[in-house]
Amino acid sequence: MTRVAIVGVTGYGGAEAARLLLRRPDIEIVAATSSRLAGKTLRDGCAWLDSDLILSEFDPNVPADIFLLCQESGFAMEHVPDLLARGKRVIDFSADFRLIDLDDFRTYYKKEHTAPHLKGVYGLPELGDREEIASARLIANPGCHVTAAALALTPLVRAGLVNGIPVVDTKSGVSGAGRARKETDYLFAELDNGLKAYAVTGHRHTPELEQVAGVKVRLTPHLVPMPRGLHATVHAPVSATSAEEIRTVLRDAYQGEPFVRVVDAPPTTKQVLGTNRCDLWADYDARTGHAVLLSVIDNLGKGAAHQAVQSLNLMIGAPETTGIPVDAVWP
């Protein structure tokens, strides 16, 4: 039995992690924290979760083997050094330990890193080292835009096909902004029937995507008036000469992967809703010499909580797919 603490359980990412872990016989949630709702039940804070688990304040002393830190950037680098010193293992949902270059962290997150001596293992099993994830004490759970775009782009970079700067256009559901947002921009009346770009240049996920994919990129994300889902379109200049050549590279890269599919038609975000899947499709524009890569994920699934549970499974020696949905919610 692995004992887990979920810190920030009433946020969208934390609640989705709880949804996957609550019914597992090999997992015991020994702490679920919410500073705002401490003393109430998880059902009180998340009506869609049928659990009487009592919410509490964050306490590093709880007898958990693994802490899931589902908080904004800054929380993890403050508390991870103490948690590791106590012998705990950590999966951090924020960007605090994703970037190797701390100058990039300072530039994009506008703060100094307070734990520069600690390095996280990047938790994207399909593009990383599963043995390294399995033995890690600190996992940096990837960003959602990066997950979708990197799974599409990285195999082409590794195959030596990309010969210029790819343009990455992502569109994400509103849940990616978190559950605590109260700005006017996130009101239903402001969002509905509209679509807008944000962080048009200099989005925080840019250095992370470049680090993972191994190539400089031009990234612009967009906010879409839907609850969840993320669609990435990657336009990559390539030396390939056909769509089939590009699709073969993707199929070879993900052969046998349980959560990544190369599909036969342009995918929709709805077909991966509630899952840990990433569905990919590719074409080739002979006129401009560009690969056109489409990638869809659930931003709370493969883009956050489900991917964290995938890493957790590797860490505890469970089958990688344990407790993780692969079939979408429909309609």
Q: Which residues are catalytic?
A: 144
Nearest 5°: CA angle at 143, between 139 and 149?
125
In sequence order, what are the beta bridge partners of 4? 29, 66
| Separate counts of helices (H) and strands (E) for the chain | 10, 13
Q: Structure tokens of 323?
A: 């407790």
- State residue 2 phi and psi, 5-degree precision: -100, 130
Q: How far apart are CA 118 and CA 84, in angstroms?
A: 10
Give the start-end residues of each E strand in the chain: 2-7, 27-33, 66-69, 89-92, 121-122, 138-140, 167-172, 196-197, 218-223, 230-237, 260-262, 278-285, 290-297
